[in-house]
Amino acid sequence: MAEVQVISVPVIWVDDNEKRLDASFYAQDVISARVLLDKLKRKGIPLESLGNLSSSIFHRTRFKRKYVAAREGYPFLTPTDIFMFSFKPRKYVIDPPEGLQVDRNWILITCSGTVGRCIISNKLFLKCILSHDIIRLVPNCNDILGYIYAYLNTWMGQAFLSKDRYGATIKHIEPGHVANISLPLLPEYYVKEINEKILNAHRLREEAQELLVEAEKTFYEELELPPLDDDVVEYLNGKECKLIKAFTLASNELLTARIRLNAYSYLPICRYARKILAESKGKFDLKKLGDSKVSKKVFTPPRFKRIYVKNENNGIPLLQGSHIPLLKYFDIKLIWNKMENLKEYLIKRNWILVTCSGTVGKVFLVSKFCEGWAATNHMTRILPYEKVNAGYLTIFLQSLYGFSQLQTLIYGGVVEELGEAGELLGEILVPIPSDSTQEKIGNLVIEAYEKKDQANMLENEAVKALEEKLMEAAK
């Protein structure tokens, strides 16, 4: 039976706000946050609303999206896309309404579905159209930007962001809910310290994203491969059928592909990619992923029962498939460090993880920061051969030359799965250039993941320090 919380609140709390009668509005963490703010106010810590600390807090109205090919429109970012690493817009639109762009150093807050997730916009966002499901918070100045951002990521800030959720199936919050959040202003020197840490983390994230973009660009240039997109593929009825991607297949092609009858197995973009690789193999060695000179091992561990704990001394972080494509991690859980067969699920530096269940084909390079964590059985592990640069192999699998081949291995109805790790993933064609070329490309990827990790550590330190300081000031 699920745990039931019963909480009583003063009737004035109901009358002072929106006269909300849903229990989540008065959840335990919300009450704790309100009590903490009351204590801080009595201790002389000034409280200021985010509305007064911002020149604007707003979102845009819904609009009809006209999706087009990448070369024809503006890149469109959903709430999911703004947290992606690498930065790759998945959709493009034409004729968007005015005011959907953002500027640098705005705080972006998800306001539909999973609400309250925050990130600071960088220059990669400037040419993009952002969804109406993102609240834009424009601080009065950069001297307070990082401090506001850090507070919104504390448990108190998250409690206030989530308490105003409304809606049955899909939850929402509004700009007014964000503007009404009270921010405790600690002494100026402490605000400056937190602000600088967050801005440094933001700078490192921006650099990490740029490095990953540069790595993929260098991959194409050094191997003299043309960048791929669906525009190079002729679908049935041409452009009119781009969205449903209908195509024909000769019967002899069916016989050469394990006689699978699902369309994924014969994606034209994959067949085109493999053709280009085969024709260009004089510029590099073309090997299979399962070759012993490419990977030492490709495997997926068996299912296991997860025993979650809350004490950091008794657990280790568990990486899930939803975490690995993200620029920052959300809701990391701990599993018991005495769990049976735990070693089967621990990951090591320079391993490559590929999601193989649900949203499949997302690729992740295990860095020093995540070494020793556990990862679920929904990720296939690729252990690169010693002379293959792990960063290079990562960017290849993230490119359409690698990802399109991963897509052809998908099966399943409701939940998509990748085929048997060792057998099917081992058939993926991998271009292997010279060691120096691998280093040139791969080291950019490795540096990108390191900078991303440094940013996450800096942000975590700043948020934790702010939480501790607020608790200490309230005593």
Question: What are the pLDDT digits (tens) for 208-247?
Answer: 999 999 999 999 999 999 988 777 777 776 655 556 778 8
pLDDT score recorded for residue 257: 53
Per DSSP, the residues of 288-332 read: ETTSTTTEEEEE-PPP----EES-GGGEEEEE-TTTTTBSS--S-
136 pLDDT above the threshold of 80: yes
pLDDT score recorded for residue 88: 86
12 pLDDT above the threshold of 80: no
pLDDT score recorded for residue 1: 43
4 pLDDT above the threshold of 70: no
Average pLDDT, the chain: 89
263 pLDDT above the threshold of 80: no
467 pLDDT above the threshold of 90: yes
3-class state of residue 375 by DSSP:
strand
Span 444-453, average pLDDT:
96
pLDDT score recorded for residue 197: 97
Contacts of 77 (CB under 8 A, 6+ apart): 89, 125, 128, 129, 130, 131
| pLDDT, tens digit (0-9, with 9 covering 90-100), for 69-78 | 778 889 999 9
CA distance linking residue 130 with residue 35, whole number of Å: 36
Q: Which CATH class is domain 11-208+456-474?
A: alpha beta
Span 449-469, average pLDDT:
96
pLDDT score recorded for residue 259: 60
Check if 11-208+456-474 and 226-279+285-432 are the same fold.
yes
445 pLDDT above the threshold of 80: yes
pLDDT score recorded for residue 191: 95
CATH number of the structural domain 226-279+285-432? 3.90.220.20
Return the domain boundaries, the chain: 11-208+456-474, 226-279+285-432
Angle of CA points 87, 399, 273, to nearest 5°: 145
365 pLDDT above the threshold of 70: yes
Percent of the chain clearing pLDDT 70 (strictly above)? 91
| pLDDT, tens digit (0-9, with 9 covering 90-100), for 30-48 | 888 899 999 999 999 999 9
293 pLDDT above the threshold of 90: yes
How much is the pTM? 0.90
Buried b (16+ CB within 10 A) or exposed e, 430-453: bbbbeeebbebbbebbbbbbbbbb
Greater confidence (85 vs 247) lies with: 85
